[in-house]
Amino acid sequence: MTRYLVRRAALLVGTLLLASVVLFLLLRLLPGDPANALLSVGATPDQVAAARHQIGTDRPLPAQFGHWLSQLATLHFGDSFVSSLPVGPEIVSRLSVTVPLTLAAFVLAVVVAVPVGFLAAHRAHTWYGALAGLVSQLGIAVPAFWLGLLLVWVFALNLRVLPAGGFPPDGWSSFPDAFRALVLPVVTVAVVMAASLIRYVRSATLDVLGSDHLRTARALGSSFPGAMWRHGVRNAAVPVVSVLGIELATTFLGAVVIESVFALPGLGSMLVRGIAQHDYPVIQGVLFVSTLAVLVVGFLADIAQRLIDPRLRGGIAR
């Protein structure tokens, strides 16, 4: 297991390095000159050249990439081309919105999806089992931004019980206001995520309910709850854990849509602003952190699968 962890960690680092190369090159292929963000309309060629020299885009690409890697080695993402402020502290500040939004929605989705998915499988031939499956399919079909707008229309514009968007200027120092600001975004993300998870939980549970080992345990006298807890939960959890990792990573990456709908100052809005201004350090920093988060989530989900299923650990030992 230790050797596997070392190999997996090395693969994570190598993947992150490769992703940084691809990210760097793709940004340089985008149309537009970041120097124009520093200048007014009608700037002279000399002014454009001076701006490029100021932000370093006049240097050869290998030199720019080497400079960026040296900054990453010290956990410094550079300074914004537009504001000249360090990108790292702003990313940390914005993570205080994106991370709670993602984690709260994830927990809420799991709390809803696991029992509903199990019910949809265990009572598949009843009307409420079929209803759970139908609701799941409808939830998957609903776009997150449309659901967010609908919740704003109901709870903010009509009932006036929750804010339509925004976040307190002093952040979590005003905890009640910050909590209320995240209620609708969290519910929006959780509903869409839960709809997808219900389907996977239902499928995994149906596989377990039809398995030989569960029928054997029941034939030997175990009650259904006892047999399910002792022999079914682990088997059903292995594929679900993999899906949970994917859903968590997807939610983190998809925060740009929800943060735009609810005007939240998270990583998503920071990325949109950086793209609009061709601010390379901002774009690189946000995408690098997002890539790192996705890789770490995948790594942890892989480890969790091997802790749950001894057969996978046996495969590692061989």
Structural domain count of the chain: 2
Of 74, 105, 138, the residue at which a domain comes to its end is 74
Residue 135 lies in a domain: yes
27 with 141, same domain: the answer is no
Is the pLDDT confidence value at 190 over 50? yes
Per-residue model confidence (pLDDT) at position 294: 87
Whole-Å CA distances, 23 to 19, 27, 288: 6, 6, 8
Per-residue pLDDT reduced to its tens digit, 271-284: 888 888 888 889 88
What backbone phi and psi angles, to 5 degrees, belong to 59? Answer: -80, 160
Residue 85 lies in a domain: no
56 with 3, same domain: the answer is yes
Whole-Å CA distances, 312 to 8, 60, 309, 317, 318: 14, 47, 6, 9, 10
- 181 half-sphere exposure, CB direction, 13 A CA radius: 23
Residue 54 lies in a domain: yes
Is the pLDDT confidence value at 40 over 70? no
Residue 158 lies in a domain: yes
64 with 125, same domain: the answer is no
Of 21, 40, 74, the residue at which a domain comes to its end is 74
Residue 181 lies in a domain: yes
Is the pLDDT confidence value at 302 over 90? no
296 with 170, same domain: the answer is yes
The segment with the largest mean pLDDT, out of 43-47, 78-82, 191-195, 231-235, is: 191-195
Residue 256 lies in a domain: yes
121 with 58, same domain: the answer is no
Residue 84 lies in a domain: no
Q: Summarize the confidence of residues 61-88 as an average pLDDT.
A: 84
CATH of the domain at 265: 1.10.3720.10
111 with 67, same domain: the answer is no
pLDDT band at 153 (very low <50, low <70, confident <90, very high): very high
Place of tokens 């594929």: 239
Containing structural domain, residue 250: 90-314
Angle between helices 87-122 and 280-308 (to 10 degrees): 40
Is the pLDDT confidence value at 316 over 50? no
Encoded amino acid at 73, one letter:
A
pLDDT band at 178 (very low <50, low <70, confident <90, very high): very high
Q: Summarize the confidence of residues 119-146 as an average pLDDT.
A: 80
Is the pLDDT confidence value at 37 over 50? yes
6 with 104, same domain: the answer is no
Is the pLDDT confidence value at 201 over 90? no
162 with 251, same domain: the answer is yes
d(CA 150, CA 138): 15
Q: Mark residue 86 as left, alpha or beta (left: phi above 0; alpha: psi -120 to 50; beta: remaining).
A: beta
Of 30, 50, 74, the residue at which a domain comes to its end is 74
Per-residue pLDDT reduced to its tens digit, 203-242: 888 777 776 666 677 677 777 666 676 666 767 777 778 7
Is the pLDDT confidence value at 110 over 60? yes
15 with 136, same domain: the answer is no
